[in-house]
Amino acid sequence: VYSLDGLLVFGLLLVCTCAYLRKVPRLRTWLLSERRGGWGVCHKAAVIGTRLHVAVSVSCLLMAFYILVGK
């Protein structure tokens, strides 16, 4: 995470992973029940991923295209 594109990739991966983990019932109650602290960041990323799933998926596609072709 030493550059802007690395930070963006990290953020997108965090949002996508947390949104995916939110769909698993046992992990949802175990990991994403806290709303404060470190696990709260995962909870908030999961909420962003589920509410803005179209924008997040388009961002992932654009970032993948940029990394594969642009770099």
Contact 32, 39 (CB under 8 A): yes
Q: What percent of the chain has pLDDT over 90?
A: 39
Q: What percent of the chain has pLDDT over 70?
A: 96
pTM value is 0.81
Token representation of residue 26: 């046992």
Q: What is the rounded average pLDDT of the residues 34-53? A: 84
Q: What is the pLDDT of residues 3-30, one digit of tens each?
A: 888 899 999 999 999 888 888 887 777 7
> Which pLDDT score is estimated for 1?
55
> Which pLDDT score is estimated for 32?
67
Question: Where are the domains positioned within the chain?
Answer: 2-70
